Amino acid sequence: MAIVHEFSIAEALADQVLAHAPEGARVREVEVRIGALRGIEPDALRMGWDSVTFGTPLAGAGLTIDLRPWSIECSSCGRAWTSSVPFVSCECGNETPTPHGTDELDLVAISVDEEET
């Protein structure tokens, strides 16, 4: 089921990239930034991306995913760190440090081939 969610996002992303790419320019790379709250599996998003761009002018464009991790804060000892999962124990023994995630889902940049003029 999660894969379908990543497919919808890949579709929206492809539309957006096409809208921004100069007419006829070949898109080499697409950079996205995704907050931990979104719960997006990078592999599923890549699979979705490859699938929705297959046979389109975007075929072969790479996807660089900057997955922002959870920020974990321990209220017992004050330690702060980042983690790929929200529920983790602190080395001080506290089993319930507080996770903070962000929910950005942004197209950061695209890299395109341009003809020399």
- Binding residues for other proteins, per CB under 8 A? 1-2, 4-5, 8-9, 12-13, 15-16, 20, 26, 28-29, 32, 37-39, 86-87, 96, 98-99, 101, 103-116
Min dist. Cβ of residue 23 to other proteins (A): 13
Alpha-carbon distance values, 63 to 21, 38, 71, 103 (Å): 15, 17, 24, 19
Min dist. Cβ of residue 98 to other proteins (A): 6
CA nearest 49: which of 19, 16, 20, 7? 7
Return the number of the residue (24 or 55) whose C-beta is nearest other proteins. 24
Min dist. Cβ of residue 74 to other proteins (A): 12
Rounded to the nearest 10°, the torsion over CA 89, 92, 93, 95 is -30
Alpha carbons 22 and 18: distance in angstroms, whole number: 8
Return the number of the residue (22 or 54) whose C-beta is nearest other proteins. 22
